[in-house]
């Protein structure tokens, strides 16, 4: 009991000593997406805030996201055996076209390998829930194989680098935030088939998305964000038909100071596949996210976050993602 009382006292002391912020602006939710190696080939609209950039302002964002994937699922219809890591590096340009309208483009590059997170993840699993059966069965090697009806329909080589599908997005702010009302924006997106379809870095077809973004500050130091998106994919992936998807995020940001914040998020993504016969493709994804945002200078923002799969839907989420971002703001 003494330990719990001490922790509670430190917690209360911390919040009492930190000065309040008046009308402080948050940094927004993290730009997460569904990092599932196959489901992400359909359009994913990254997490975003409702507020738009001021007219004439340009944001240049560089992002690195390392995702560990481990799946082992067999059924009479289909089988999925995957164990590798994907490094997703992206350049994201965002421009304030008018006072309420923002345009952006994202160009990603993907690299698939055995990665470096296997050892740390296994060590954490040993200390908590135990090593996952799939990780234990597949060992330290590289595997990428999806089969259906006894025939391999998807595989990718180790050590391959390739361009992913690019995305053009638009955001228009419908409502400005007031003391009683949240900010609200409408978002649209189109995915361009610039990725290598043969290595499963792209779908080979365009996709179309639309959504809403909302945000509201409260109690001086807190900001809540929400996104709801719908996507209409076209074409096929690995010969499999694609279906419309929905996704949503809910994030809460605590503003430690004007330069530092801590954010926690919950994400949901439905799957674009139906009736394949493996839960890796047929089920959606639920994940939790935690990280921080730190303003290095007036024009340079550093962010880092981790994504952990949840058990609300089992057997379909990527195992773990670690990401870091650097955003440079250029004002005319």
Average pLDDT over residues 256-280: 96
Share of the chain above pLDDT 90, in %: 80
Average pLDDT over residues 236-258: 97
Domain limits, the chain: 25-331
In this predicted structure, the answer to whether residue 301 has a pLDDT above a threshold of 90 is yes
Using pLDDT thresholds of 50, 70 and 90, give the confidence band for residue 25.
low
In this predicted structure, the answer to whether residue 245 has a pLDDT above a threshold of 80 is yes
Give which of 243, 242, 248 is closest to 229, Cα–Cα. 248
| 41 touches 200 (CB < 8 A) | yes
Using pLDDT thresholds of 50, 70 and 90, give the confidence band for residue 178.
very high
Q: Residue 138's pLDDT is what?
A: 86
Average pLDDT over residues 19-35: 76
In this predicted structure, the answer to whether residue 2 has a pLDDT above a threshold of 70 is no
Q: Residue 276's pLDDT is what?
A: 96
pLDDT, averaged across the chain: 91
Distance CA 88, CA 9 (A): 42
Q: What is the pTM of this model?
A: 0.89
CA distances from 272 to 35, 135, 237, 276 (A): 14, 26, 10, 11
- Continuous H helices in the chain: 2-17, 118-127, 133-138, 279-282
Q: Residue 133's pLDDT is what?
A: 80
- pLDDT tens digit sequence for 89-138: 999 999 999 999 999 999 999 999 999 898 888 888 788 877 888 888 88
Average pLDDT over residues 265-289: 96
- pLDDT tens digit sequence for 31-74: 999 999 999 999 999 999 999 999 999 999 999 999 999 999 99
Using pLDDT thresholds of 50, 70 and 90, give the confidence band for residue 13.
very low
In this predicted structure, the answer to whether residue 11 has a pLDDT above a threshold of 80 is no
Share of the chain above pLDDT 70, in %: 92
Using pLDDT thresholds of 50, 70 and 90, give the confidence band for residue 26.
confident
Distance CA 224, CA 221 (A): 10
Q: Phi and psi at residue 112, in whole multiples of 5°?
A: -110, 130
Give the CATH fold of the 25-331 domain. Answer: Porin (2.40.160)
Q: Residue 1's pLDDT is what?
A: 44
Most confident among 71-75, 140-144, 183-187 (mean pLDDT): 183-187
Average pLDDT over residues 284-288: 95
Q: Residue 130's pLDDT is what?
A: 77
What is the torsion angle, in degrees rounded to the nearest 10, for the CA atoms of residue 249, residue 46, residue 109 and residue 140? 0
Give which of 307, 41, 30 is closest to 194, Cα–Cα. 41
In this predicted structure, the answer to whether residue 7 has a pLDDT above a threshold of 60 is no
């Amino acid at each position: 009991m003494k330990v719990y009382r001490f922790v509670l006292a430190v917690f209360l002391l911390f919040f009492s000593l930190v000065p309040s912020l008046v009308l402080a602006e948050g940094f927004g939710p993290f730009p997460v997406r569904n990092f599932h190696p196959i489901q992400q080939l359909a359009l994913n609209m990254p997490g975003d805030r409702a507020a738009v950039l001021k007219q004439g302002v340009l944001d240049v964002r560089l992002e690195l996201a390392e995702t560990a994937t481990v799946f082992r699922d067999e059924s009479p219809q289909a089988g999925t055996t995957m164990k590798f890591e994907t490094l997703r590096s992206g350049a994201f340009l965002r421009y304030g076209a008018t006072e309420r309208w923002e345009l952006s483009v994202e160009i990603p590059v993907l690299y698939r390998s055995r990665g470096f997170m296997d050892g740390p993840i296994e060590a954490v699993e040993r200390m908590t829930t135990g090593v996952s059966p799939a990780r234990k069965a597949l060992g330290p090697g590289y595997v990428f194989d999806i089969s259906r009806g006894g025939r391999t329909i998807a595989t990718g080589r180790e050590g391959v680098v390739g361009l992913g599908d690019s995305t053009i997005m638009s955001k228009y702010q419908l409502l400005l935030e007031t003391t009683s009302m949240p900010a609200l924006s409408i978002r649209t997106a189109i995915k361009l088939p610039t990725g290598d379809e043969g290595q499963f870095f792209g779908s080979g077809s365009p996709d179309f998305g639309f959504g809403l973004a909302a945000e509201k500050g409260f109690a001086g130091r807190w900001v809540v964000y929400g996104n709801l998106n719908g996507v209409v994919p076209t074409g096929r992936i690995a010969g499999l038909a694609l279906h419309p998807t929905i996704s949503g995020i809910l994030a809460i940001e605590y503003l430690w100071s004007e330069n530092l914040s801590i954010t926690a998020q919950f994400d949901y993504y439905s799957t674009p596949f139906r009736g394949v016969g493996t839960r890796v493709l047929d089920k959606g994804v639920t994940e939790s996210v935690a990280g921080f945002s730190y303003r290095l200078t007036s024009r340079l923002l550093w962010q880092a976050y981790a994504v952990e799969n949840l058990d609300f839907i089992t057997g379909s989420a990527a195992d773990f993602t670690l990401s870091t971002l650097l955003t440079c703001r250029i004002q005319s």
